[in-house]
Amino acid sequence: MDKLLIKQCLFYGSWLVWPFIAWLLWRLRERRGRWLVALLLAACLLFAWARFVEPQRIHVQETVLTGTGAHARLVLVSDLHLGVYKDSTYLQRMVDRINTLQADAVVIAGDFTYEPDGQSLDAMFAPLGGLRLPAYAVLGNHDQQAPGPDIDAELRAALATHRVEVIEGKTVRLGGFRLAGLGDRWANKDDPAFLSVSSSPIPTFVLSHNPDSAIDLGPDLATLVLAGHTHGGQIRIPWLYRHVIPSRYGFDRGEQFLATPRGRVRVYTTVGTGEVGLPLRLFNPPTIDVLDLRP
What DSSP line would sit under 180-223, residue for residue?
EEE--TTTT----HHHHTS--SS-EEEEESSGGGGGG--TTT-S
What's the mean per-residue pLDDT of the chain? Answer: 96
Question: What's the average model confidence in pLDDT over 85-110?
Answer: 98
- Span 158-167, pLDDT tens digits: 999 999 999 9
Confidence category of residue 147, pLDDT binned at 50, 70, 90: low
Specify the CATH architecture of the domain 57-293. 4-Layer Sandwich (3.60)
Neighbours of 198 (CB within 10 A): 12
Query: Which of 252, 248, 247 is CA-nearest to residue 232?
Result: 252
β-strands 164-166, 82-83 pairing: unpaired
Amino acid letter for position 275: E
- Span 205-229, pLDDT tens digits: 999 999 999 999 999 999 999 999 9
- CA–CA separation, 140 and 44 (whole Å): 33
